[in-house]
């Protein structure tokens, strides 16, 4: 007997569509059919409780997962756990509470000014175009560039959510999802579609051809962390996710695009090389943008999910990856949201006791919906500065149970466990940096990633997140992975000599890189615990 048909009305930021569904169908299957992108942070394993969705009408009866993850008020408001929700009657849902594509789109953070490349213009085609892609776990960023007589210019940039998010928010959940060969293939197909859409969008909007005998687009470069590149190639990722975390395939690869992509034929495509399971091609690309010469000792820190870092002391290049977690992007924070309109991004606490005032800024001045990475860090710093949290991170009795409210209605709060997550992350960064520095002092500290460019060091002074050797030396460099991929692409477009120089520089980086396993260092655990204090 055919299941009764019902209608699910989906309201995605005011864009409304009605989708026919079978009574008893899983809501996420309906969303897939509607082409709506959504996030399942734990890959739908019902362990994170973050895949919340709001029913405006026809909410199903709450089940055990709602009981486990939601308050009574939330269930009454129509909030449900998306990965476990089944629809039985006509209903209307709002996607604002879930992390949707619109939430996550970020600027590709690479400026459009002309840049120079070393050794440009030997036998390259003047005016040829290339595309650089930074394949991130959360976001995929792309830049269309054109080579010029003395370098290259960025013609356009674009970005999208990595659609693999529905299989898990972080690399560990995607590695676990990819154990199933069918899902591994789906992960590959999903990300290939994302990349192809970005290439098509950038080329079409600039009237550039990627098809035909002599397309305008001549080169594509892809960088990303080791897991993302493995999933793109549909490789077995099991070894990346369990001890001793080995990555067999880390070399630079060149191929014609149709080996990797389904719809983009015959364009040279390069996958940049990586260093280890946790220090991937995105870090190599970032290092590619910097000069390795004896004159300057530099520290490079990518404040993304894992806090990868490198220290070049003029002779040696040491690299490592810390277990910082996603806190800098507000991941794992109870009221954490991405850097979207309404996210609390700046916090100041004035006055004391009855006269205490919390002054917040939100992105775009919109109604507060949660806290983003900078907001989280500034709140903790302010709590410590005002004595509302002590140096061990403990909140005063008044806020210990319920957390510290940032809005008058108390809806958005920072809890004791959020503060613990910040402490774990900042201790990981601090101890990792101290270990790599090993008593040496860098001339410059380059911080890559969106968080690094938005945070003001003064506003997070109380966190003691960086060693004092960094004081006055920090330079935010934005999306260095995309910049590195763009610079490499420009070298490819500039001819064989520039390409050979660029490849030699990549080899130098990967050959020089000495991987430091922090967990095995003497005294690391003691230093890490000590660094948790403020």
Closest to ligand FES by CB, 47 or 424: 47
| Chain contacts with ligand FES (rule: CB under 6 A) | 40-42, 44, 46-51, 81, 83
Are 78 and 312 in contact, with CB atoms under 8 Å apart? no
Are 339 and 373 in contact, with CB atoms under 8 Å apart? yes
| CB of 52 vs ligand FES, minimal distance in Å | 9
| CB of 15 vs ligand FES, minimal distance in Å | 23
Tokens of 387: 């004595």
Are 217 and 201 in contact, with CB atoms under 8 Å apart? no
Please state the separation of Cα 340 from the chain's center in Å.
14
Report the DSSP pairing between strands 513-515 and 357-362.
unpaired
| CB of 63 vs ligand FES, minimal distance in Å | 12
Count helices and strands in the chain by DSSP H and E runs: 17, 25
Closest to ligand FES by CB, 42 or 377: 42
CA–CA distance, 204 with 198 (Å, rounded to integer): 10
Are 45 and 173 in contact, with CB atoms under 8 Å apart? yes
Closest to ligand FES by CB, 97 or 449: 97
| CB of 504 vs ligand FES, minimal distance in Å | 44
Closest to ligand FES by CB, 326 or 449: 326
Closest to ligand FES by CB, 241 or 314: 241
| CB of 85 vs ligand FES, minimal distance in Å | 9
| CB of 424 vs ligand FES, minimal distance in Å | 20
Are 477 and 285 in contact, with CB atoms under 8 Å apart? no
Closest to ligand FES by CB, 46 or 508: 46
Are 534 and 391 in contact, with CB atoms under 8 Å apart? yes
| CB of 26 vs ligand FES, minimal distance in Å | 12
Tokens of 259: 């080996």
Nearest to 62 by CA among 77, 41, 47: 77
Closest to ligand FES by CB, 39 or 486: 39
Closest to ligand FES by CB, 99 or 460: 99
Are 175 and 238 in contact, with CB atoms under 8 Å apart? yes
Are 316 and 516 in contact, with CB atoms under 8 Å apart? no
- At 302 the three-state DSSP class reads strand
| CB of 370 vs ligand FES, minimal distance in Å | 17
| CB of 166 vs ligand FES, minimal distance in Å | 9
CA–CA distance, 272 with 252 (Å, rounded to integer): 5
Closest to ligand FES by CB, 74 or 216: 74
Nearest to 50 by CA among 401, 329, 336, 340: 336
């Amino acid at each position: 007997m055919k299941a009764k048909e019902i209608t699910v009305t989906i309201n995605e930021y005011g864009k409304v569509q009605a989708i026919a569904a079978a009574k008893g169908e899983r809501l996420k299957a309906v969303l897939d059919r509607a082409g709506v992108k959504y996030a399942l942070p734990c890959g739908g394993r019902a362990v994170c409780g973050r895949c919340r969705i709001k029913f405006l009408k026809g909410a199903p009866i709450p089940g055990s997962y709602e009981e486990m993850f939601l308050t009574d008020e939330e269930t009454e408001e129509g909030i449900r756990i998306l990965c476990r929700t089944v629809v039985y009657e006509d209903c209307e849902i709002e996607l604002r509470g879930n992390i949707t594509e619109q939430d996550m789109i970020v600027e590709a953070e690479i400026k459009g000014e002309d840049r120079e490349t070393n050794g440009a213009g030997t036998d390259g085609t003047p005016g040829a175009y290339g595309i650089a892609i930074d394949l991130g776990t959360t976001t995929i960023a792309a830049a269309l560039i054109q080579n010029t007589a003395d370098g290259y210019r960025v013609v356009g940039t674009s970005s999208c959510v990595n659609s693999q998010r529905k299989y898990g928010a972080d690399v560990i959940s995607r590695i676990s999802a990819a154990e199933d060969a069918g899902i591994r293939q789906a992960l590959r197909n999903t990300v290939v579609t994302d990349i192809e859409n970005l290439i098509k969008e950038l080329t079409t909007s600039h009237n550039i051809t990627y098809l035909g005998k002599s397309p305008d687009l001549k080169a594509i470069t892809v960088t990303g962390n080791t897991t993302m590149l493995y999933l793109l190639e549909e490789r077995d990722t099991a070894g990346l996710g369990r001890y001793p975390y080995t990555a067999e395939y880390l070399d630079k690869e060149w191929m014609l695009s149709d080996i990797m992509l389904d719809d983009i034929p015959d364009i040279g495509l390069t996958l940049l090389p990586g260093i280890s399971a946790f220090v991937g091609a995105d870090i190599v690309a970032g290092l590619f943008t910097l000069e390795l010469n004896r004159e300057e000792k530099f520290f490079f820190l990518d404040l993304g999910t894992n806090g990868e870092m490198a220290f070049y002391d003029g002779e040696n290049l040491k690299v490592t990856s810390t277990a910082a977690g996603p806190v800098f992007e507000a991941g794992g924070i109870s009221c954490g949201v991405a850097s979207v309109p309404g996210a609390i991004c700046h916090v100041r606490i004035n006055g004391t006791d009855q006269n205490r005032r919390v002054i917040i800024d939100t992105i775009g001045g919109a109604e507060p919906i949660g806290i983003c990475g900078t907001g989280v860090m500034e709140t903790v710093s302010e709590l410590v500065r005002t004595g509302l949290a002590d140096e061990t991170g403990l909140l005063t009795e008044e806020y210990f149970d319920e957390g510290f409210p940032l809005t008058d209605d108390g809806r958005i709060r920072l809890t004791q466990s959020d503060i613990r997550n910040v402490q774990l992350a900042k201790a990981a960064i601090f101890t990792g940096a101290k270990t790599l520095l090993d008593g040496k002092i860098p001339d410059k500290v380059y911080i890559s990633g969106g968080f690094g460019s938005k945070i003001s060091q003064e506003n997070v002074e109380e966190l003691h997140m960086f060693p004092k050797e960094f004081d006055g030396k920090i330079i935010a460099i934005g999306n260095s992975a995309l910049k590195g991929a763009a610079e490499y692409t420009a070298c490819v477009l500039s001819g064989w000599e520039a390409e050979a120089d660029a490849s030699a520089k990549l080899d130098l980086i990967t050959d020089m890189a000495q991987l430091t396993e922090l967990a095995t260092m003497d005294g690391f655990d003691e230093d890490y615990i000590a660094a948790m204090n403020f």
